[in-house]
Amino acid sequence: MCSNINHFQLFYDKWKFKYFALKVEYYTLIAKGISDMMEYYLDAIKSIEDKFPSCFDDLQKIKKSAITPGQDHELYLDLKV
């Protein structure tokens, strides 16, 4: 019976392919993509804050919910412009 570790070792021995390094790189790219997307939306909120200073408190709540994982937040924004 061949375990996963043995399977990966055989794969590496034959093709010099580092499965674990590729897996780490894959997850790193996913994390970076999510981080970049969050930064984009936080920058968009910052632009809205600059345009509508009267909604600063509501936008702070949205930014807090965007960077607090695992929380159930009801997001709504009632802009009275």
pLDDT per residue as tens digits for the range 42-81: 888 888 888 988 888 888 887 777 666 655 545 444 444 4
pLDDT per residue as tens digits for the range 16-38: 766 677 778 888 999 999 989 88
Query: Would you say residue 78 lies in a domain?
Result: no
Query: Would you say residue 73 lies in a domain?
Result: no
pTM of the complete model: 0.51
**What is the number of structural domains in the chain?**
1
Query: Would you say residue 58 lies in a domain?
Result: yes
Burial class (CB in 10 A: 0-12, 13-18, 19+), 21: exposed
Pairwise CA distance, residues 66 & 39, whole Å: 10
Residue 10: which domain range?
A: 4-67
Query: Would you say residue 79 lies in a domain?
Result: no
Query: Would you say residue 80 lies in a domain?
Result: no
Query: Would you say residue 14 lies in a domain?
Result: yes
Query: Would you say residue 52 lies in a domain?
Result: yes
Query: Would you say residue 76 lies in a domain?
Result: no
